[in-house]
Amino acid sequence: MNTTGHEANTYELDALIVGAGFGGIYSLYKLRNELGLNVQTIDRAAGVGGTWFWNQYPGALSDSESHVYQYSFDRDLYNDTNWGTKFVTQPEILAYLNGVVDRYDLRKDIRLETSMTSATFDDRAGTWTVATDKGDTIICRFLITGLGLLSAINKPDFPGADDFKGEIVHTGAWPTDLDLTGKRVGVIGNGSTGGQVITAVAKVAGHLTSFQRTPQYSVPAGNRAWTAEELQAQKDNFEENWNQVKTSSVAMGFVESEVEMFSVSAEERERIFEAAWQNGGGFRFMFETFCDIATNPEANEEAAKFIRRKIGEIVHDPETARKLTPTDLYARRPLCDSGLYETFNQPNVSLVSIKENPIVELTEAGVKTADGVIHELDVLICATGFDAVDGNYKRIDIRGRNNELLRDHWVDGPTSYLGMATSGFPNMFMILGPNGPFTNLPPSIETQVEWIAGAIGYLAPKSGAWLEVRPETESEWTDICADIADQTLFPKAASWIFGANIPGKKRTVMFYLGGIAAYREILDSEAAEGYPGFVSHVSEPALV
Ligand code: NA7
């Protein structure tokens, strides 16, 4: 027995899946239900759902349209899913994922409130030994990590935080019993999450103060009910729609524009932007209007100017409008909102630009800024994002061949081949690891899980066999990702996409920006050619 009263066990599995979000759930289905392997999933959370379990803050909404923010592997599941609005809320997505788990009878092989504390590869046996915080030891051939792209929270350490008499919460670890009605609420951060939480909480808070470091470009989400015809068409056109998604770039369920910004007149640009603004959607605004907003600085400025003008038209107080208006590139993950700028017209909402007037410390009563003002608060919400992509990997002792620690392997920044494998860590397959595709996530997750299941299906019958990515393949992939990123404007904007949001984190390219279509082709040929990017090791004669 360990200190929790749980009897510690050592047991063997074919595969251990860590994480019960979109990726972990589908992996369990593929490996257990389809390949018939002995598999278990563990997750540190008290429920399944990953991101959608943790991010239960008010206003949490997916910014991918619902007809493509789901699984596509089972047409019956798709037909039975009836999401009535263009964008779906966190409770709906969490209910969906729970429904999927029950539909395929996965729950009995998911251990909740169980964290992987270490994982070590045994070169001789060709197995992974995983320790959990329950004291269990799991020995498995295949380790599938779906630890979450945006899961390790970034909570700033403000001086005086211990003195603050109110409550400090992070959106990514939201206490579901927190009632903000009538309270004095501060929100630090105004990314995708901050925008959602500000808009929702301002409706109930006594007063809301937004502490904004960098103003953001945001366009309306345009959320609305799908019409009956639209819903029917989504189901009738299942194959064509998903084929379109998987042969597109950002996998968002629309056809990306091929029109260059300056190939049309100024009037036509205005018409296209206005239509996109009215229709809604951040990715649509950036990628469906023109093809060069993310690559050509002048084209980018046209889009930025349009949004800046809208902010000026919406926000009544000129000083608030000035503070809310970005002046830099429109080159972060494109945001959309449900009335964010309008929220700043409410009498119970105020904005503090902490770039101009930094936070000095927290006091007993609230947040003190450089001008000496103490902003009195009952609750301080940190919508300050995540140590994205590799954050969770660095927090666990993962040791590959020769006892090499993954965080040492990634000392110059996280790398991988295809976002799924890193050299020295055989038979460890990451879902949404570094340098995976930058898209609407469920289609990329499905793509990766299907590829991983293919690789495991190939290895499983060969006793003790493992695949290990060649170091040179990994370096080439890193270079490819960097070259593609350099052709875009994204690296020029400081955001989590390049690790720029975490103090001290090395700025590196962390995504493959070549689009899902090209990505899927690379994956297909890697598997079809017998995994040439990998060294294939068989410790005993193959059984097949
Ligand atoms: P983001 O996009 O990383 O946004 C975090 C926000 O928090 C952003 O406004 C940051 O300002 C701000 N921030 C971070 N640290 C601090 C400190 N120390 N002081 C003040 N302000 C700070 O995270 P989100 O959760 O909004 O979104 C992440 C993704 O989740 C999103 O793209 C979707 O894919 C879903 P900054 O801009 O860095 O100046």
Q: How far is the CA of 13 from the centre of ligand 1 (A)?
A: 39
315 and 248 assigned to the same domain: yes
Q: 516-528 and 441-459 are packed helices; what angle lies between their axes, rounded to 10 degrees? A: 0
Residue 415 forms part of a structural domain: yes
Residue 340 forms part of a structural domain: no
Residue type, 57: Y
What whole-number distance in Å separates Cα of residue 44 and Cα of residue 96? 20
Ligand 1 atom having least distance to the Cα of 190:
9
Question: Which residue's entry shows tokens 């729970």?
Answer: 98
Mutate to test the pocket of ligand 1, among 192, 199, 212, 353 (most ligand atoms within 8 A of CB): 192
CATH of the domain at 352: 3.50.50.60
The domain total for the chain is 3
Q: How far is the CA of 438 from the centre of ligand 1 (A)?
A: 18
143 and 38 assigned to the same domain: yes
Residue 3 forms part of a structural domain: no
ipTM of the predicted assembly exceeds 0.95:
yes
Q: How far is the CA of 23 from the centre of ligand 1 (A)?
A: 24
Name the average pLDDT for the chain.
Answer: 95
What whole-number distance in Å separates Cα of residue 211 and Cα of residue 319? 15
Residue 354 forms part of a structural domain: yes
169 and 96 assigned to the same domain: no
Q: Whose CA is nearest to atom 28 of ligand 1?
A: 385
- Asked whether the predicted pLDDT for residue 538 surpasses 90, the reply is no
DSSP string computed for 345-404: TSTTEEEEETTTS-EEEE-SSEEEETTS-EEE-SEEEE---B-TTTHHHHTSEEE-GGG-
pLDDT in tens, 120-152: 999 999 999 999 999 999 999 999 999 998 888
What whole-number distance in Å separates Cα of residue 391 and Cα of residue 384? 14
351 and 213 assigned to the same domain: yes
Q: Whose CA is nearest to atom 35 of ligand 1?
A: 192
276 and 394 assigned to the same domain: no
Residue 16 forms part of a structural domain: yes
Backbone angles phi, psi at 460, to 5 degrees: -55, -45
Contact residues of ligand 1, CB 6 A cut-off: 150, 156, 188-194, 213-214, 333, 354, 383-385, 496, 501
Residue 337 forms part of a structural domain: no
What whole-number distance in Å separates Cα of residue 422 and Cα of residue 417? 6
128 and 138 assigned to the same domain: yes
Residue type, 313: E
What whole-number distance in Å separates Cα of residue 455 and Cα of residue 471? 18
Q: How many CA within 13 A on the CB side of residue 123?
A: 7
41 and 81 assigned to the same domain: yes
CA distances from 78 to 82, 225, 399, 490, 517 (A): 8, 18, 39, 34, 22
Q: How far is the CA of 496 from the centre of ligand 1 (A)?
A: 8
229 and 374 assigned to the same domain: no
| Residues β-bridged to residue 110 | 41
| CA angle centred on 531, ends 397 and 34, rounded to 5° | 75
Please give the pLDDT value at position 543: 41
Determine the structural domain holding residue 300 and report its residue range: 218-331
Using an 8 Å Cβ cutoff, are 330 and 308 in contact?
no
210 and 351 assigned to the same domain: yes
pLDDT in tens, 160-206: 999 999 999 999 999 999 999 999 999 999 999 999 999 999 999 99
Q: Whose CA is nearest to atom 23 of ligand 1?
A: 385
Residue 115 forms part of a structural domain: yes
209 and 355 assigned to the same domain: yes
The pair of structure tokens assigned to 522 is 């690379």
CA distances from 151 to 54, 173, 385, 388 (A): 8, 9, 9, 7
**Does the model's pTM come out above 0.90?**
yes
pLDDT cut 70: percent of the chain above it: 98
Q: Whose CA is nearest to atom 10 of ligand 1?
A: 189
529 and 400 assigned to the same domain: yes
Instruction: Spell out a b/e string for 70-91, using b for 16 or more CB atoms within 10 Å of the CB, else e.
Output: bbbeeeebbeebebeebbbbbe
449 and 497 assigned to the same domain: yes
